[in-house]
């Protein structure tokens, strides 16, 4: 399944991640996160039936990606990222909207995620899209050690 959406400057295509995308995704992870996933973690996610992985493209270039996990009525947004030069152009919004459609079709009741409390941009993005804080998980992250805010979006409301 893929979808195309236009903004003033980008023509964003969303499609399923493939194994050929992973070297580029691995490089972006290194660039964008202090505690990046390994390339192997992405290969493992692709191989599992309960995982979904998407890329966002502009003019054939990967400009964003996201992964999610479905466990019965529960779903998890495990990561989402957009290259710096393409931020605030609705790339993450389109990735998230695609995931919300999929998890609703799978009859999930809610979508969960963890985020660093210092990641104020991501928290603003999640709040804008219907997520609310559930609780704080102490010392969840490494490099640097930090609590996680666990946020939820109830899919009836989204
Ligand atoms: C968080 C992230 C994925 C958002 O991607 P994006 O494509 O820039 O987000 P969008 O353009 O779809 O944003 C939609 C709305 O979310 C909110 N938002 C997004 N980024 C924001 C920021 N840095 N500050 C405040 N609000 C923000 C705004 O309401 C925005 O609408 P607006 O631009 O009209 O004001 C991106 O900043 C990123 O890749 N960050 C680094 C990786 C990361 O931290 N991922 C999350 C890990 S938990």
Which pair of tokens denotes residue 60?
A: 């054939």
Q: What is the mean pLDDT of the chain?
A: 95
Q: Is the CB of 145 under 6 A from ligand 1?
A: no
Q: Check residue 1 and give its pLDDT.
A: 56
Q: What is the mean pLDDT of residues 13-22?
A: 98
| pLDDT score of 158 | 61
Which structure tokens are listed for 71?
């466990």
Which atom belonging to ligand 1 lies closest to the Cα atom of 87?
A: 8
Higher pLDDT, 73 or 6: 73
Number of H helices, E strands in the chain: 4, 8
**pLDDT, tens only, 88-120:** 999 999 999 999 999 999 999 999 999 999 999
SS (H, E, C) 83-127: CHHHCCCCHHHHHHHHHHHHHHHCCCCEEEEEECCCCHHHHHHHH
Q: What is the average pLDDT across 144-155?
A: 97
Phi, psi for residue 48 in degrees, rounded to 5: -95, 135
6 or 72: which leads in pLDDT: 72
Q: In the structure encoding, which two tokens stand for residue 6, read together?
A: 């236009």
How remote is the CA of residue 83 from the centroid of ligand 1, in Å? 11
**pLDDT at residue 46 greater than cutoff 80:** yes
Neighbours of 64 (CB within 10 A): 25
Q: Edge to edge, what strands does the sheet with 3-6 contain?
A: 3-6, 11-16, 51-58, 61-71, 74-82, 110-115, 146-154, 132-141
State the pLDDT confidence band at 3, using cuts at 50, 70 and 90: low
Arithmetic mean of pLDDT, 27-49: 97
76-98 mean pLDDT: 98
Whether the CB of 127 sits within 6 Å of ligand 1:
no
When pLDDT is cut at 50, 70 and 90, the band that residue 123 belongs to is very high
Predicted local confidence at residue 132, as pLDDT = 98
Q: Identify the CATH class of 3-154.
A: alpha beta
Query: pLDDT value at position 9?
Result: 80
């Amino acid at each position: 399944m893929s979808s195309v959406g236009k903004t003033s400057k980008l023509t964003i295509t969303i499609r399923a991640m493939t194994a050929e995308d992973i070297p580029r995704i691995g490089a972006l992870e290194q660039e964008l996160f202090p505690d990046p996933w390994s390339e192997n973690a992405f290969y493992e996610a692709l191989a599992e039936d309960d995982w979904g992985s998407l890329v966002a493209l502009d003019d054939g270039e990967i400009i964003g990606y996201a992964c999610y996990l479905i466990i019965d009525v529960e779903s998890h947004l495990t990561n989402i990222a957009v290259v710096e030069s393409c931020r605030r152009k609705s790339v993450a919004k389109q990735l998230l909207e695609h995931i919300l459609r999929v998890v609703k079709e799978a009859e999930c009741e809610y979508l969960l995620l963890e985020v660093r409390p210092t990641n104020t941009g991501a928290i603003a993005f999640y709040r804008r899209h219907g997520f609310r804080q559930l609780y704080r998980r102490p010392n969840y992250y490494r490099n640097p050690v930090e609590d996680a805010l666990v946020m939820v979006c109830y899919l009836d409301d989204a």
